[in-house]
Structure 1
Amino acid sequence: MRKFQDGNTPVQAGLICALGAFLLWGFLPLYFKILENLPALHVLAERIVWSLPAGIALVWFGHRSSEFRAVFRAPKQLAWLCLSAGLMGLNWLIFIWAAQNGHVLEASLGAFITPLFSFSLAAVFFKERFSFLQFIAIFFTTLGVLNQAIFVGKLPWIALSLCLLFGSYGAIRKKLVVDGRVGFLLEVLVLFPFAMAFLIYSWIHGAPLIADTVRDSALISLSGVVTAGPLILFTMAATRLRLSSLAVMQYIAPSIQFLVGLLLGEHFSISYAATFIFIWIGVALYAGAALRQNRQVKKNPH
C-alpha cells in the first residue's frame, strides 16, 4: 500500500487526512449528546483514558516507537507538547459540555471563527501574508461576534474559547516536527494521570468507574477510537499543508455541526442568524482569498 509520506504526494495525502478529520469532527456532537446523562468531566476523563490504548496502538503499528523515544531527548519539543496537551484537554471539556447542554450551534460558531484565528496566528508566527480580502474577512467576523454580544445579549464564550484553544493548538502542532501519532500519544500521556486521579476520586465517592448502564459503558469505551481518528488525521494534515490551506478546509466541520444543532432543535433567533451571516460572509471572503493565493503560488512556485 502506498504510504502517505511518499515524497511526490504530500499535499494529496494532507488533503485526504484533513477531509476525513473534519467530516468526523462534524458529527462528533451527536456522540456526546448521546452521553448527556454523564457529567462532562467524567466523559472527558474517560475519553483521555480510552485514548491511551488507541494512541499506543497507533505508534506501535505505525512503527513510530523510535520517534516516540526521540522526543524525550528533545526537552523543548516535550515542553511544547505538554502545552498542546493542556490546550487539547480544555478544548475537549468545553466541546463535550456544549454538545451535552444544547450549545452545538455556538460550538459550530467557534469552529467557523477558528480558521480566521488560525490564519492570524500564521501571519504572526509563520510569516504568511494578509491580503486585503482577508482583512475584510476578519472585519466581518468581528462584526458577527459583536452582534452576538450586543443584540443577542450574550458573549459567545463557548465559541471564543474553542476558537482560541483549537487555533493555538493547531499553531503549536504546525511548529513541531513530530509525527501526528507520536504527538497524540504524548499528549494523552500528559493528561492520563489527571484523568485517572479524577476517576478514582469519583469512584471512591460513589460514582461509577465507567458508567451506570451497559449501553453507556460500551459507548464511552469507544471514545478512544472516536477521538484518535480525527485528531491523528488532523495532525498528519497539519504537517503536509500550509496552515492557510488547512484553515479553508476547516469549514467542513462547523457546517456539519451547524446542521446538527438545527436538527437537535436548538434555539435560532433572527439576531442569532445575523451573527452567522456576518461570519459566513467573512468565511466566503477568506476562503476566496486563500484559494486565489494558492492558485498564484502554483503559477509562480518560485
Structure 2
Amino acid sequence: MKNHLGLIYAMSAYLWWGIIPIFWKQLDHIPSMEIVAHRMVWAALIVVALIVSMKEWKAFVAVFKDKVTLLRLCAASLLVMTNWAIFIWAVNNDHIVETSLGYFINPLISVFFGLIFFGETLRKGQSLALLLAAFGVLVMIVATGGVPIVSLSLAITFALYSVMKKKVSLPATHGLAIETLFTLLPAAAYLLFLDVQGTGSFAHDAQSSIMLILGGLFTLIPLLLFAAAAKRVSMTALGMTQYLGPTCQLLIGVLIYNEPFGSTELLAFGFIWFALAIYSVDQLKAQSERRKARKLASA
C-alpha cells in the first residue's frame, strides 16, 4: 500500500508539472519576469506559513546556522529562478514543445553531471543514451540552423539545481522556503518598483491578481507531492514517472496551442525517446542486479 500511495504521489506531481503550462498561458499578457517575481514572493510567504502551521519553525531557523547549506541553497535559488523565468517565458511565447524537449533530456544531462561533479561512472547503456540524445539535439541544430536554447537552458539549469539539492539534506518545505526567501526582497522590490511606475499588473485585474497568488501555491503543491513520493518509492520508480511531465507538455503544445511539430521535430524527439528507453531499461537492469547482490550478501 505504501508503494502504491507513493506512486500516486509521484504521478500526481509530474502530471501537475505537465499541465501547468495551461495555467501560465492564462497570464501571457503579463511580462515573464513580473510573473516570476510574484511566484517567488507568494511561494515564500505560503511555504513559511506552512512551516509555522506545522510547528517546524525552530528546526527551520536552525538551518540558518549552517553556512555551507545556505551557500548551496543560494546557488539553488538562483538556478531555480532562472529555470522558472525561462519556462514561463517559453510557455507564454509559444515554445511549449521546446520546454518538453528540455525536460525529456534533463535526466540524461543529470547523468552527465553525475559523472562530472560526483565522479560517477557511466554504464554502457547510459553512455549510449547520452550519445543518442546528443545526436537528437544535433539533428535539430542542423535542420533548424539554430541551437535549441530554451530546451538546453531548461535541462542544464534544472540539472545543476538538482546537483545543488543533492548536497543538501532538508525537508522539501524548508529547502524551498530558504530558496525563495533569498529572492524575496529583490522580487518584492521589483514588484514595488513596477507598481510605483504604474506598470505593475497586481491589484489592477482581480482575476490576474488571484492567479498570480495561486502561482505561488501551485509551485509548492507538486514539490510536496514529489517529496512524499520520494519517501515511499524507489528512485527508479520516480525516474519512470518523470516522463509524464514533458509528455503532457508536448501534447498540450501540439494539440491545444497548435505549435509546429513536423518531421524535423519528430526525428529529433525520436532519437531522444530512444535514448530515454535505453536509459530506462538500463536503470531497471541495474536495480535488479543490486537486489540480487543484496540477496546474495544476506544469504
TM-score using structure 2 length: 0.91
Q: State the SS of the aligned residue for 1:149.
A: helix
1:292 counterpart residue number: 285
Q: Which of 242, 245, 261 does residue 268 from structure 1 map onto?
A: 261
From 15, 40, 43, the equivalent of 1:48 is 40
The 3-state SS of whatever aligns with 1:207 is coil
Contact 2:30–2:201 (Cα < 8 Å) also in 1 = no
**Which residue identity does 2:29 align to in structure 1?**
N
Please name the residue that 1:78 is paired with.
70
Listed as ranges, the gaps of 5+ residues in structure 2 are none
- Post-superposition Cα deviations, 1:134-182, rounded to whole Å, max 9, x if no partner, equal 1111111001111111112221000000001111111221221111110
Task: State the match for 2:59 in structure 1.
Answer: 67
1:46 & 1:167 partners in 2: Cα distance? 24
Greater Cα offset, 258-267 or 100-109: 258-267
Using a 3 Å threshold, how does the CA distance of structure 1 residues 146 and 55 change in structure 2: closer, same or farther? same
Change (3 A) 1:125 1:234: farther
CA deviation digits over 1:28-53, x for unaligned, max 9?
11111111111101111111111122
**2:163 alignment counterpart:** 171
Q: 2:195 aligns with which of 192, 203, 214?
A: 203
Query: Are 2:114 and 1:122 aligned?
Result: yes
Q: What number of residue pairs does the alignment pair up?
A: 294
Among all aligned residue pairs of Structure 1 and Structure 2, give the percentage whose two residues are the same amino acid: 33
Distance in 1 separating the partners of 2:161 and 2:173: 15
Q: Check whether the contact 1:174–1:243 (CA below 8 A) recurs between aligned residues.
A: no
Q: Where does residue 5 of structure 1 map in the other structure?
A: none
TM-score where L is the length of structure 1:
0.90
Aligned residue identity for 1:102: D
Whole-Å Cα distance in 2 between the matches of residues 236 and 170 of structure 1?
17
Instruction: Determine helix, strand or coil for the equivalent of 1:177.
Output: coil
Could you list the per-position Cα deviations for residues 63-102 of structure 1 after superposition, in whole angstroms to 9, with x for gaps in the alignment? 3222211211110001100110001100000000001000
Deviation of 1:233 after TM superposition, in Å, equals: 3.2
Q: CA deviation at 1:133?
A: 1.3
Q: Report the counterpart of residue 147 of structure 1 in structure 2.
A: 139
The one-letter code matched in structure 2 to 1:232 is L
Structure with the bigger percentage of helix: 2
Match for residue 220 of structure 1 among 187, 212, 222: 212
Measure the CA separation in 2 of the matches of 1:116 and 1:54: 33
Give unpaired runs (5+ residues) of structure 1.
3-8
